[in-house]
Amino acid sequence: MIPLLATVIAAGGCSAHYHTVRNGRVEVYLQAPQAQSVSLVLSGDTFETVPAVRTRLGTWKATLNRVNEFKYFYLVDGNVYLPDCPLRERDDFGADNCILSP
């Protein structure tokens, strides 16, 4: 998985991600200036894909209409990308997910 991740980072230009909480919504941002498409994937009993929209300077934003803890990863141009995140969890399929508790 590490070589694939390195390829995605190099090809996608992923370097930073962050989130904000506003008006009962969580906005998740990923810097991926080279990417053609980015989605936030919520991991759980089912996978929910939230398309991100490109903002200025190659940053992508996905908005969730709720403020509660969730597990996630990104799809950058169809490839799984797991950013550097302080909280992680191994899922039932043997992959890691980030955990965000706003």
What pLDDT shows up at residue 59?
A: 95
Average pLDDT over residues 19-46: 92
- Is the Cα torsion angle 32, 81, 47, 17 positive or negative in sign? negative
Close Cβ partners of 12 (under 8 Å, ≥ 6 residues apart): 32, 34, 35, 76, 77, 79, 81
Domain boundaries of the chain, sorted by first residue: 2-89
What pLDDT shows up at residue 47?
A: 85
Q: Which CATH architecture has domain 2-89?
A: Sandwich (2.60)
Average pLDDT over residues 20-45: 93
